[in-house]
Structure 1
Amino acid sequence: MNSDLWSFEEGFKRNNELQWYQKKNAEVKDGRLVITGKREQVKNSNFEAESTDWRRNREYAEYSSSSINTRGKYEFQYGIMEVRARIDTAMGLWPAIWTLGISKPWPANGEIDVMEYYRVKGEATILANAAWADEGQYNAKWDNAKIPFSDFLEKDPEWPSKFHLWRMEWTEDSIKLFLDDELLNEIDLARTVNPDGFNPFHQPHYILLNLAIGGNNGGDPSTTSFPKHYLVDYVRVYQK
């Protein structure tokens, strides 16, 4: 993997997720990025028994995975991003392709979820979203598309074993999110203005790829067999 473009996250990060992010769970094999989720105990190097922070008060992680991003190394504003990937749709897994704006804290920086897969009210779901700031700290406004995964399985029962193409078309006016050329969500950027007047989708964003496990949305992975693999064939960004 090209370290001129990509960096790794380490440890517990967000959403009360169960995995410990570490570099060794990502490798390039046969020209593809393979992110592996494992069931294994990893000692929490930040452990503090008395802490109220979930990132610190767990002595061990019971799972490991990887999360990579281009922060500070590669950013882009507008254009087309394409990611060809194969996701595992087992219970407890939460793979994602997303971007974050380079300035301001979340959600004022803007978040674009080109792909998320997790369970919504127990139902497997593909999501395509954008988030920006609402009134009050850490409050987000969302433009969500939630498509039941069963819709994709009805069209193709072999869907989980195949690679699929996620695409974002981003202009000053809109963000369009596609899966295999099907438009899942169109976000009107006239509406995505933070309370202070800043539009987080009129600034450069960086790219994140990760496989989360459990947490607020991933579901319970305890009955899932591991290891699990999230394969990325390529990430491409085009400008007009």
Structure 2
Amino acid sequence: MPKGSFELVWADEFDRDGAPDPAKWNWDIFANKTGWHNGERQYYAADRPENARIENGRLVITARKEVLSDRADHGGQGYSSARLTTQGKAEFTSGLIEVRAKLPCGEGLWPAIWTLGATAPWPDSGSIDIMEFDRKASAVTGTVHNISTSGTAGNGGRVDVADACGAFHDYQLLWTSRELRFAVDGKPYHRYANAGTGMAQWPFDKAHYLILSLAVRGADREVADDAIFPARFEIEHVRIYKQRPRGSAAVDGAGQQVGDAAMIGE
């Protein structure tokens, strides 16, 4: 990683029980009626503790097998879940994004930590999948999407995290003007370099916002057994750092100084 250090500029430690902080998070429900992308089968509920709540210092996003047909924007989905964004409330153009999370198990679930460009439609402004988990493939993946990667195809890497469903891990993105670096617990597994060829390959000089979601897959990875529900995606913290000048000390979410090795190594 670059030899500079980092300071915390935005965080949610989820230290107050109840609904997600409305000053930091939006409920994202725009495609409930028309149907979500990629054949996803969930209805994203807004302000419903059964699907997203803070308890015991964690944000818990829960997918359930249920039909919420009494809701005006229901699109016939057979599952419920939640999708939260920082759009318009916290947007970033670089830094270190770290989300500490424990992932849900079960074939057909699709937990994700990702970003979308805030200034132009996708894929022109790009998107960054900091973490996606596919139980069937037994892998955590990190992927970059933009015009040059043919949109949905993406440029990505993967890493096996054997206890992703049983333990908390730090899912990280180091975002500089030169590259995007993906890591788990400080260990990088994929890099995407700025080739200097323009916006189609590097739209990442423009602001992005963060998304936390738990989808239910469609035909590509259908649910094998509804006994997996309710399924919990637990997030212990979200922290955004910016790089300080060389020689400065990094500061963690508790205000303690940490060395570069605690962030993302080479």
Are 1:164 and 1:179, in contact at CA under 8 Å, matched by a contact in 2? yes
Match of 2:264 in 1: none
Please tell me whether the aligned partners of residues 97 and 240 of structure 2 are also in contact (alpha carbons under 8 angstroms). Answer: yes
Cα-Cα RMSD: 2.2
Counterpart Cα distance in 1 of 2:28 and 2:107: 23
Confirm or deny that 1:5 pairs with 2:32: no
Match of 1:221 among 220, 223, 233: 223
> In structure 1, what is the equivalent of residue 188 of structure 2?
183
Q: How far does the alpha carbon of each residue in 1:98-143 deviate from its partner, in whole angstroms, 9 at most, with x for none?
A: 0111111111111111100126xx52331101111149xx845621
Q: 1:45 aligns with which of 72, 88, 93?
A: 72
* 2:131 is the alignment partner of 1:115: yes
User: What amino acid sits opposite 1:61 in the alignment?
Assistant: Q
1:36 aligns with 2:62: yes
Q: 1:161-180 to 2 correspondence within 5 Å? A: 161-180=166-185
Match of 1:131 in 2: 145
Question: Any unmatched runs of 5+ in structure 1?
Answer: 48-57
Any unmatched runs of 5+ in structure 2? Answer: 1-19, 244-266
Does 2:73 correspond to 1:18? no
Aligned equivalents of 1:200 and 1:237: distance in 2? Answer: 20
Does residue 143 (structure 1) correspond to residue 155 (structure 2)? The answer is yes
Which has more strand, going by share of residues? Answer: 1
Q: 1:170 deviation in Å? A: 0.8
Could you tell me how far 1:89 is from its partner in structure 2?
2.4
- Asked if structure 1 preserves the Cα contact closer than 8 Å seen for 2:25 and 2:84, the reply is yes
Counterpart in 2 of 1:152?
161
Give the ranges of 4+ consecutive aligned residues of structure 1 lying more than 6 Å apart after TM superposition: none
Segment drifting more, 60-69 vs 5-14? 5-14
| CA distance 1:78–1:139, shift in 2 (3 Å) | closer
> How far off its partner does 1:46 sit?
4.8
Measure how far apart 1:42 and its partner are. 2.1
Q: Contact 2:91–2:207 at 8 Å: present in 1 too?
A: yes
1:72-115: CA deviation from partner (whole Å, max 9, x where unpaired): 11101111111000001211100000011111111111111110
SS state at 1:239 partner: strand
- Matches of 1:182 and 1:166, distance apart in 2: 10
Q: Is the 8 A contact 2:140 2:161 kept in 1?
A: no
Does structure 1 retain, via aligned residues, the 8 Å contact 2:103–2:164?
no
Q: 1:77 aligns to what?
A: 93
Q: 8 Å contact 1:133–1:141 — kept in the other structure?
A: no
Aligned twin of 1:232: 235
Determine which of 69, 88, 101 is the counterpart of 2:104.
Answer: 88
Contact 1:132-1:193 within 8 A present in 2 as well? no
How far apart in 1 are the matches of 2:202 and 2:119?
11
TM-score norm. by structure 2 comes to 0.74
Tell me if structure 2 keeps the 8 A contact 1:99–1:206. yes
Identical residues among aligned pairs (%): 31
Give the TM-score of the pair, scaled to structure 1. Answer: 0.82
Mapped to 1, the partners of 2:158 and 2:102 lie a distance apart of 19
Distance in 1 of aligned mates of 2:138 and 2:164: 13
For 2:239 and 2:213, locate their aligned partners in 1 and report how far apart those are by CA, in whole Å. 17
The answer (yes or no) to whether the contact 1:176–1:185 under 8 Å persists in 2 is yes
Contact persistence 1:133–1:140 (CA under 8 A): no
